[in-house]
Amino acid sequence: MEILKKITILICAINILGNEVQSSKLLLILMDGFRWDYIDLPDVPLPGFQQMFREGVRAKYMVSDFPTTSYPNYYSIMTGLHCENHGFVGNYMYDVATGKEFLIGGNQDMSLPIWWDDGEPLWVTAEKQDKSSYLYYWSGCEVTIRGVNPTYCKAWTVPTYSADLTTALSEGLQLFKNNSADLVGIYLQSVDRYGHMYGAASDKVKDSLRAVDIVMHDMLSNLSSIGLRDKVNIMIFSDHGMVNRTRVVNLTSHLDPDDCVEILPEMNTIGIWPKPGKTDKSKNPEIDQYVSGPMIGMHGFDTSNEEMRAFFAASGPAFKKNVVHRPIRNVELYQIMCHILGIKPAPNNGTWSNVKDMLNLGVSSATKSNIDVSVMTSFSVVIFFQCILFFQF
């Protein structure tokens, strides 16, 4: 009889451990240079995106952080911090203390902690709380940040197009299906690349939008076919907008390069580190932009410029349906991501009241999972103690 009691209590304990409810899955797609109004171009119907809007939410537009360039906003989105807090102030940077340079395109010093450790990106927050993250072509995923790496990183090495997005989505959905991944993030470059080369809303950009829209339609269909449409939350967003170049400033007409320790040109903006005693040598303190290279489309301008506005949309069980939300800032996204994953966010500049009304707070996957775990655990504990009491009498 004593052995039977122990076996029964063990079975009750196993039942408690088995009643674990999985957290919500989260798919992120960063579409570089996808301007906020591209989805409403009259001659570019996008049925895949429109389906997602009906099934979820979209912001009227999203405000990028300044400067409206890529790396600063990649990190603002993934850390929830403004640029002055996470430290990324351009795609090209110079550290006066070490003399090191951060140069977009893969110089070895890009991976140094001095650039990255002032912020905690989502995948680090997730990994620290026992969530698995898989990142495809996502800048920074190859870097050890605050001592942490993602579960998997396919580093960005060359421009990515709709075919790369399709491949990554195929792998990512399979990871969700077999419960290997909690977070999948994919970076797409084609819209930004064609915007620079041919101009904002050019025919090449429109063709790229159509190609991406087909991928979006297929993604939604594939999610449904494998039974994950109501289990995976999707967030799609961009880092900045795009505008066509209107004028060029000749920098050497305004300062002497010999008066500078470092000059790092970046499309419409430029980083200048003057030599000691040379800070007053600019011949024109009103310089507000600088353009180099053959690019037609540009970004990096002030956030008050409508063409710099970014794009945001989301769908899944955590989000309301068929809602156009008021404009938001990109630093708000990190807290939403953490909410969906059911993890505690690192300190950030987001404000929950700015975004909570786009969410199904009572029934979102993350919230629902937490509630289910609490209720199920309480129920199982009751059963467990009932088992013990039963055999004591």
Question: What averages of pLDDT result for each successive group of 10 residues across the chain (393 residues)?
Answer: 48 40 80 97 97 98 95 96 93 87 84 94 98 97 96 93 97 98 98 94 96 98 96 98 78 72 64 70 45 67 94 98 98 98 98 97 48 40 45 46
Rounded-to-integer distance, Cα 108 and Cα 3, Å: 63
**258, two tokens:** 């010999």
231 by DSSP, 3-state: which?
coil
Rounded-to-integer distance, Cα 149 and Cα 370, Å: 26
**323, two tokens:** 């809602």
Q: Are 319 and 52 in contact (CB under 8 A)?
A: no
Rounded-to-integer distance, Cα 329 and Cα 80, Å: 10
Give strand pairing partners of 263: 272
- According to CATH, the topology of domain 24-245+295-359 is Alkaline Phosphatase, subunit A (3.40.720)
Rounded-to-integer distance, Cα 61 and Cα 59, Å: 5
pLDDT, residue 268, reads 64
Domain boundaries, the chain: 24-245+295-359, 362-393
Name the nearest CA neighbour of 216 among 197, 188, 240. 188
pLDDT, residue 361, reads 86
Give strand pairing partners of 118: none
Rounded-to-integer distance, Cα 322 and Cα 259, Å: 56
Q: Are 200 and 242 in contact (CB under 8 A)?
A: yes
362 by DSSP, 3-state: which?
coil
At residue 184, what is the residue type?
V
Name the nearest CA neighbour of 31 among 172, 233, 152, 186. 186
Rounded-to-integer distance, Cα 69 and Cα 65, Å: 9
Catalytic sites, residue numbers = 70
Q: Whole-prediction pTM value?
A: 0.81
